[in-house]
Amino acid sequence: MTIFSLLGALALAAVICIGAPAAGRAEVAVDLELVLAVDVSGSVDPEEARLQRDGYVQAFVDPRVIEAIRSGYLGRIAVVYFEWAGFGYNTIVVDWTLIGGADDARAFSAALADKPIVTARRTSISEALQFAQPLFDANGFTARRRVIDISGDGANNHGRLVTLSRDEAVLAGITINGLPIVNDRPSRFGRPPMPDLDLYYRDCVIGGRSAFLVVADTFTDFARAIRRKLILEIAGRTPGRPVSPVRRVAARRSPPCDAGERRCKDLSTIFRM
């Protein structure tokens, strides 16, 4: 081998070595990167947690959801599903998954159904949003729309103020959509639910471009609500009525964004008396 051919071979090897990592980091383009953040806090009993999980399991095999995915410009989305509770409890149940058709959707649904459900104490919407935001980084996908879909049956009562985490995510170009579960059922500890939770989610939780909420009227309504919400999110649309007509009554007032923290403080005071 001449010196020139040796130099040429070395140069070619250098190009290959430099190019290899770049190829390994190639991202798959999708219509939507979607983080599903699901509440399993202390106010959610095992039956309610199962109703939530089953709602997502059923939604991803629904033909209308699959059709919405296939109707996109690229015909595929990327989804990750995690469950959250108080500060320090965030668990990825099914990691980032490419869904481009019925087979992918069924596989995602089956993986979700197969995982155990664990609940934990307190409610930290703020940390759930903090946990969700970096999940978009280096996830192997790229999309023009990045959405955190957060569902829950109570207000933030643990960790930082929810609006701080919301504003950080919005500033990063992420849209936060909400699915408040409005019901009259006391928690397993006997505490009544916070009134006007849908208004709290509207004013304190959701944010970003075209942000919206869909209200679930009780846990048994969750499957319908999440199916509708997924279809809207995947299609890049918003509902005509952001607040549940069932709960729309006269003289409703939005709770303050620290309403959950205030309730916890009041409860602590009662227990100390």
CA distance 260 to 204: 11
φ, ψ at 70 (rounded to 5°)? -70, -20
Task: Supply the pLDDT for residue 245.
Answer: 41
* pLDDT tens track for 188-243: 556 677 889 999 999 999 999 999 999 998 888 999 999 999 999 999 998 865 44
Please enumerate in sequence order all residues whose Cβ is within 8 A of that of 149, keeping only pairs 6 or more positions apart, or say none: 34, 35, 36, 37, 177, 178, 179, 229, 230, 233
CA distance 187 to 203: 24
Task: Supply the pLDDT for residue 220.
Answer: 85
Both tokens assigned to 11: 């140069």
Count CB-CB contacts under 10 A for residue 244. 17
Task: Supply the pLDDT for residue 120.
Answer: 83
pLDDT surpasses 70 at 175 = yes
Section 120-132 average pLDDT:
93
- Higher confidence at residue 42 or residue 272? 42
Q: Are 51 and 222 in contact (CB under 8 A)?
A: yes
Which residue segments constitute the domains of the chain, with CATH numbers given? 27-272 (3.40.50.410)
